[in-house]
Amino acid sequence: MDKRILLPTDFSKNALNAIRYALNLYKDQRCDIYFLNTYQIHGYSIDSMMVPEPGEKFYEAAKKRSLEGFERLGEILKLHGQSARHTYHTISTYNSLLYAIKSTIAKEDIDIVVMGTKGATGSSTILFGTNTVDTMQKVTECPVIAVPEHVVFTTPKEIIFPTDYTTGFKRKEIRYLKEISKLHGSFIRVLHIKEAPELSRTQESNKTLLEAILEDVNHSFHMLGNIKVHKGIAAFVESRGSDMIAFVNRKHSFFGNMFSKPLVKQLGYHSRIPVLVLNDYS
């Protein structure tokens, strides 16, 4: 079955870089690629009761800019070289980005979303833009990969999977992590930053379950102590030159705390490697 990939774009350099990353990540797999651009109109709010109508001057001008952006993107992608295994589709819509992403996931049965970490107006001092954080936290229908601005694609040889083992794992939520591992022969390095000398009975049980889930892919288990979580993850990634980091997005989980403002500033390695957000897809 073909992979169905959604690539949101605002035609910025960061979005283009994320597109290139996705095309390389899945270059050997048959894919339907959906490029999504949402446009808005000056003077109108997406949430406003006043909605611009097709045919109105400003609506048509905004739509035209979006379609012209896709024309330019098409020319750039010709230079990239389209894989015979990839079929392209474009979606141009007046809507908020999050709503458009969720709507497209449902309508087109999307398997994964790949996007840049910030848009055309993103500050150079901010690692994750608001749209990216919203998508990573609120899109729970499929995985999301966030690709930092200056990442140059290399085959992901190693994926770091931090966990505190406090919650059980499901095969469905780990499926896409394993899929990437199998696609590229990537090693999954499970990392635990310990807060106590020994794992609890529940943690040991969850670790055993995770080991069973990962038994058919390359993996290993690692533990660090006497270090704060964000510093431990950063040091581990930095020392190994890892290529990707993966989290399971659960409410009230480690992931939820990860995107608090202070922690985002501290996790500077995010500016260098892609982040894969997994969910419970049951």
> What is the tally of structural domains in the chain?
2
Residue 153 lies in a domain: no
CB atoms within 10 A of CB 24: 15
Question: Does residue 238 share a domain with residue 126?
Answer: no
Nearest to 115 by CA among 41, 27, 38: 38
Choosing from 147, 166, 182, the residue where a domain stops is 147
Least confident span in 7-21, 195-209, 221-235, 249-263: 249-263
Is 19 within 8 Å of 7 (Cβ atoms)? yes
Residue 271 lies in a domain: yes
Question: Does residue 93 share a domain with residue 201?
Answer: no
Q: Specify the pLDDT at position 51.
A: 66
Residue 240 lies in a domain: yes
| pTM reported for the whole predicted model | 0.88
Question: Does residue 119 share a domain with residue 212?
Answer: no
Which pLDDT tens digit goes with each residue over 90-143?
Answer: 999 988 899 999 999 999 999 999 999 875 554 554 456 777 878 888 898 999
Residue 219 lies in a domain: yes
Choosing from 123, 147, 171, the residue where a domain stops is 147
> Which pLDDT band holds residue 270 (cuts at 50, 70, 90)?
very low
What is the rounded average pLDDT for all residues in the chain? 85
Q: Using CA atoms, how far apart are residues 56 and 18, in angstroms rounded to an integer? A: 33
Q: Using CA atoms, how far apart are residues 20 and 123, in angstroms rounded to an integer? A: 22
Question: Does residue 14 share a domain with residue 79?
Answer: yes
Residue 18 lies in a domain: yes
Residue 43 lies in a domain: yes
Question: Does residue 142 share a domain with residue 8?
Answer: yes
Residue 72 lies in a domain: yes
Q: What mean pLDDT comes out for the span 10-31? A: 94
Least confident span in 172-181, 222-231, 256-265: 256-265
Question: Does residue 52 share a domain with residue 169?
Answer: no
Choosing from 127, 147, 167, the residue where a domain stops is 147
For residue 175, give its domain range: 158-278
Question: Does residue 14 share a domain with residue 86?
Answer: yes
Question: Does residue 170 share a domain with residue 61?
Answer: no
Q: What is the CATH number of the domain that holds 132?
A: 3.40.50.620
Residue 180 lies in a domain: yes
Question: Does residue 191 share a domain with residue 78?
Answer: no
Is 162 within 8 Å of 233 (Cβ atoms)? yes
Nearest to 247 by CA among 188, 201, 199, 194: 188
Question: Does residue 163 share a domain with residue 82?
Answer: no
Distances (CA, A) of 61 to 67, 100, 141, 166, 210: 10, 20, 33, 52, 52
Question: Does residue 193 share a domain with residue 125?
Answer: no
Nearest to 237 by CA among 199, 175, 174, 191: 191
Question: Does residue 208 share a domain with residue 138?
Answer: no
Angle, helices 57-80/13-25, rounded to nearest 10 degrees: 50
